[in-house]
Structure 1
Amino acid sequence: MDNSNKAEHQQAMANRKYIHWQDEGVEKIPPNEAEDIQAVADMINGMQKAQYNMHRHCYTGTHARTQGIVKGMLIVKEDLPKHLKQSVFAHAGEYPVVCRYSSEPGDPGLDDRIPQPRGFAMKVFNVPGEMFDSTKTTQDIEFNSTPALDLADAKTTKEIIDLRINYGGNQPELYKRLEARPDTDLQKFRDSVRNTHLESTRQYSQTAYRFGDYVAKYCLVPVSATQKKLYEETVKPDADPSDILHQWLQNFHGEHDAEYLLRFQLCENLHDQPVEYAGKVWDPEKYPWQTVAALVIPKQDSFNYELKSFWEDHMRLDPWLGLKTLQPLGSPNRLRKVVYPASSKLRRMMNGRQEVNVSSMDQIPGPAPPQMGSGNIEPLKVN
């Protein structure tokens, strides 16, 4: 795209009519949602206790398998148009981050050869602005490798987790019950996701968030040539070892810098882009993704045992721990506001650990990452 076309495109995007986060209809709390949310919290705690009985260690209810943890920098663009200068992205800057790659299910021993959604999460440091918790100075951001969330609202979450608890060990019976549902394709999709390199997988917020004045979803896009090339490789059913994704990730980060673009998709039509129901993908052709920042991760060891233990036993990552201008929206996020603290509380109690209020990268174990450009890829140009 030449400069004139780029300017025209940016102006066209700036002139679109975006939904304000306080507009009528953005959030509609259904009756009995609080009861459904509490039921989910209880079921998640039950799943955690079941895993404890097998491993004698309590893990988070989902994303239990750590695949790697890395340190990097979130770089906010200097030339953002006004409609993208929202929340933490209102001013250009560089923010230290620590990021975790994970497998979504609650079983920490899940075989990497089994296709399932993968997760990515980052804690952003030195963030200015008014927080939901005045004792915090970090912004937590979480992603999933599927653009739509099968646990699309509180009611659906309660129903699906109940099915997984009762029939998760019997896939034919589980599928029989899923196929009786109107959202069967959404529910079965998780078992057929592309099983490829974690550092090469695009990640999505799935749910909607306040984006300063507006409403948006966000995604993280791998952009280096090496990451794009590795995406073509998939895990074979007979692959060895069973933790191959962890091995691939460690090999990549040990040899290469990683580069991602953070993009936001603004809400323009609540019918096409529902906030309360996260099971529908917002059409990227009608509602384009727009780049606001870059994430750069210099080459490093992605599996530091001390850092893994610290994250799992002492850190808490929660999208409600952050800026009010990035408020989580919709039913799945109201559920997280209850379920995440309940999961964390049980985990600390059963493991005999204390949650640490991490406010500085200096509190994060492991060596500081080297400077960008030390690998085989040139540092990312944010444009």
Structure 2
Amino acid sequence: MTTTPIRYSADIETIDPDEGEVIAKLNDAFDTILERTSQDYGHAVRAVHAKAHAILVGELEIEAGLPPELAQGLFASPGTHRAYIRISTNAGDILPDSISLPRGVSLKILGAHGERLAGSEGSAQDFVMVAAKTFQAKTADKFLGNLKMLAKTTDRLEGTKKVISATLRGVHNAFESVGLEAPAAVDSLGGAPNLEPLGISYFSVTPFRYGDYVAKFGLVPIAPAMTALTDETIDVDGREDAIREDVRAEMRTIDAAWELRVQLCRDLERQPVEDATVEWDETEAPFVRVGILRAQAQDSWDPARVEEVDEAMRFSVWTGLEAHRPLGNINRARRDTYRHSADFRAEFNGCPYREPVAD
């Protein structure tokens, strides 16, 4: 392994000739989720991360004086960008919070100027992250199997899901009690502890082009009021929207701040592009701060903002700059499926999504 970051080139990706067929099947599975939930709710929601817990507005301040390997793409010049932040849970149906699933966060950073990815409207750079460092499936075709199972149970057997979730939380705790990390599948199926979203670190899981290099992204809370919530859990007993309610109460007084960090790839064998189940060892490829994301105290569930962001915006790793092109088969599968899901939602709800413009 070298300490020099790996240079980006198109040939670092290995494209399977069957990827088009897998993506078509992913769209079919997403359709099952979308059609079932829209019929039941009378309103279309996202096929993944349907339930939002907070919608925030803030600013991303890009670090000044970054070294050349970090001063790339959106981060090439210091400055402040308006940001939208959506905190959510990963299921494709709106579940009570007693069914505990991993958290996610989506960012839309405005004023990202430069060559755009094909089909990327507006001038924003989106980041989509989850509370994990690895993805649950090695490849898109393996993820397809998981998605088919989720599609079959979407908006069904809610009581059973509660029981399963409680059982899997016990499994998660059992692993931790003996000093082991619970398997990702345990958490993705309902065993994730009901952690405070403002105290969690989030990660892109998949790699991206980072200008001349290749990287993953991380978002780590740094405000003292947020780090005090790290590892704290939310009491969800008898409260279907407990997470939303608690975050709303917390954000009335907290000035939130996260470090946006970059992890540059330094060895394609040890930090692979095509296998998102491999964690990039931070001792070999450390995360480095490139900016600070801030959101001042605010109403995190303001009805007008919920309408503006949760209903009328979409978040996609394929919205952004060519300098931050998503890499690897999981990301390639996200391109058409994210658009497919957003198009369904826009048509069903009669609410075309739109990209915001910078102030």
Partner of 2:179: none
Q: Kindly state the Cα deviation for residue 240 of structure 1 after the two structures are TM-superposed.
A: 3.9
For 2:303 and 2:40, locate their aligned partners in 1 and report how far apart those are by CA, in whole Å. 21
For 2:222 and 2:191, locate their aligned partners in 1 and report how far apart those are by CA, in whole Å. 24
1:126 to 111, 124, 144: 111
For 1:125 and 1:23, locate their aligned partners in 2 and report how far apart those are by CA, in whole Å. 27
Partner of 1:99: 85
Q: Kindly state the Cα deviation for residue 232 of structure 1 after the two structures are TM-superposed.
A: 3.5
Partner of 1:289: 287
What TM-score results when the alignment is normalised by the length of structure 2?
0.88
Partner of 2:233: 234
Partner of 2:7: 20
What TM-score results when the alignment is normalised by the length of structure 1?
0.83
Q: Which amino acid is the alignment partner of residue 234 of structure 1?
A: T
For 2:109 and 2:240, locate their aligned partners in 1 and report how far apart those are by CA, in whole Å. 32
Partner of 2:174: none
Report sequence identity in percent: 27
For 1:232 and 1:357, locate their aligned partners in 2 and report how far apart those are by CA, in whole Å. 35
CA change 1:209–1:312 in 2 (3 A) is: same
For 1:205 and 1:346, locate their aligned partners in 2 and report how far apart those are by CA, in whole Å. 25
Q: Kindly state the Cα deviation for residue 27 of structure 1 after the two structures are TM-superposed.
A: 0.8
For 2:328 and 2:264, locate their aligned partners in 1 and report how far apart those are by CA, in whole Å. 15
Q: Kindly state the Cα deviation for residue 135 of structure 1 after the two structures are TM-superposed.
A: 4.5
SS class of match (2:69): helix
Partner of 2:52: 66
1:118-169 deviations in whole A, cap 9, x for unaligned? 1111111112211124752111111111111114421111111122334675
SS class of match (2:58): strand
| 1:163 paired to 2:149 | yes
Q: Kindly state the Cα deviation for residue 252 of structure 1 after the two structures are TM-superposed.
A: 1.4
For 1:128 and 1:98, locate their aligned partners in 2 and report how far apart those are by CA, in whole Å. 17
| Unpaired segments ≥5 residues, structure 2 | 168-181
1:201-230 deviations in whole A, cap 9, x for unaligned? 101101100001111100000011111111
Partner of 2:175: none
For 2:146 and 2:355, locate their aligned partners in 1 and report how far apart those are by CA, in whole Å. 33
- What pairs with 1:1-383 in structure 2 (closer than 5 Å)? 16-22=3-9, 24=11, 26-108=12-94, 110-132=95-117, 133=119, 135-166=121-152, 169=157, 185-190=183-188, 191-236=190-235, 239-361=237-359
For 1:340 and 1:58, locate their aligned partners in 2 and report how far apart those are by CA, in whole Å. 14
Q: Kindly state the Cα deviation for residue 328 of structure 1 after the two structures are TM-superposed.
A: 0.5
Report if the CA contact (8 A) 2:110-2:356 is conserved.
no
| Unpaired segments ≥5 residues, structure 1 | 1-14, 176-183, 362-383
For 2:301 and 2:311, locate their aligned partners in 1 and report how far apart those are by CA, in whole Å. 16
Deviation larger for 187-196 or 199-208: 187-196
For 1:350 and 1:39, locate their aligned partners in 2 and report how far apart those are by CA, in whole Å. 21
Q: Kindly state the Cα deviation for residue 41 of structure 1 after the two structures are TM-superposed.
A: 1.0
Q: Which amino acid is the alignment partner of residue 16 of structure 1?
A: T
For 1:93 and 1:196, locate their aligned partners in 2 and report how far apart those are by CA, in whole Å. 32
How much is the aligned-residue C-alpha RMSD, in angstroms?
A: 2.2
Report if the CA contact (8 A) 2:186-2:192 is conserved.
no
SS class of match (2:356): coil
Partner of 1:372: none
SS class of match (2:228): helix
Partner of 1:370: none
1:274-325 deviations in whole A, cap 9, x for unaligned? 2112112111122111111100111111001122122233212111111000
SS class of match (1:206): coil
SS class of match (1:339): helix
For 1:122 and 1:129, locate their aligned partners in 2 and report how far apart those are by CA, in whole Å. 18
The structure having more radius of gyration, on CA atoms, is: 1
Deviation larger for 63-72 or 162-171: 162-171
Aligned residues: 336
Q: Which amino acid is the alignment partner of residue 109 of structure 2?
A: V
Report if the CA contact (8 A) 1:59-1:312 is conserved.
no
Q: Which amino acid is the alignment partner of residue 42 of structure 2?
A: R
1:75-114 deviations in whole A, cap 9, x for unaligned? 1111211211111111111111111111111112x12222
For 1:71 and 1:235, locate their aligned partners in 2 and report how far apart those are by CA, in whole Å. 23
For 1:242 and 1:262, locate their aligned partners in 2 and report how far apart those are by CA, in whole Å. 31
Q: Kindly state the Cα deviation for residue 23 of structure 1 after the two structures are TM-superposed.
A: 6.4
Report if the CA contact (8 A) 2:120-2:320 is conserved.
no
For 1:348 and 1:23, locate their aligned partners in 2 and report how far apart those are by CA, in whole Å. 33
SS class of match (2:354): coil
For 2:265 and 2:68, locate their aligned partners in 1 and report how far apart those are by CA, in whole Å. 16
